[in-house]
Amino acid sequence: MNKVLLILIFSYFFSLPALTLTNKDLTNKQLLCPKLLWGVEFISSDRVRVIKTDLNKKTSTNEYSYVTDLELSFINIFKSENNIRDRVYSIELNTLRVDVWTMTGGGFTTREMFPKGLCEFVNDGDIYSQIKNLKLVD
């Protein structure tokens, strides 16, 4: 029983979510949301490429800056470097829930949310091609 508990604890600390919580630099990590045809490529320690598909199945890519807040367990993605008013997306590190931020008449607020379970970190190279292939299947 002690061995099983030790293995569970050891595997938790070396699992992908636990590793992301200990490192602010997510360079070369990729987040894919296959059902939404959406993904994020962390291309440097402060730049990210967001690949999104709209309702008409048109896929676009945009490059943004990002900051990892380990205390709050969020990755915040900004149009311009670390400007809170230019926040576009927030990704909760423990569940990989994605919040989409927009300006409304009442102020700056989330308008959409990709719930936990729809996105996952992947290691399969070019996620743009993966999303393109997923569109062909639908």
Count of beta carbons in the 10 Å neighbourhood of residue 107 = 6
Per-residue pLDDT of the chain (138 residues; tens, 9 = 90+): 555 444 544 444 444 444 444 557 888 899 999 998 999 999 999 999 999 998 888 999 999 999 998 888 999 999 877 666 688 899 999 999 998 887 666 665 656 678 888 999 998 778 888 898 888 876
Per the structure, the complete domain to which residue 84 belongs is given by: 2-137
Number of independent structural domains in the chain: 1
DSSP the chain: -HHHHHHHHHHHHTSHHHHHHT-S--TT-EEEEGGGTEEEEE-SSSEEEEEEE-TT--EEEEEEEEEEETTTTEEEEESSTT-GGGEEEEEETTT--EEEEEEETTEEEEEEEE-TTS-EEE-SS-HHHHHHHHHHH-
pTM value > 0.85: no
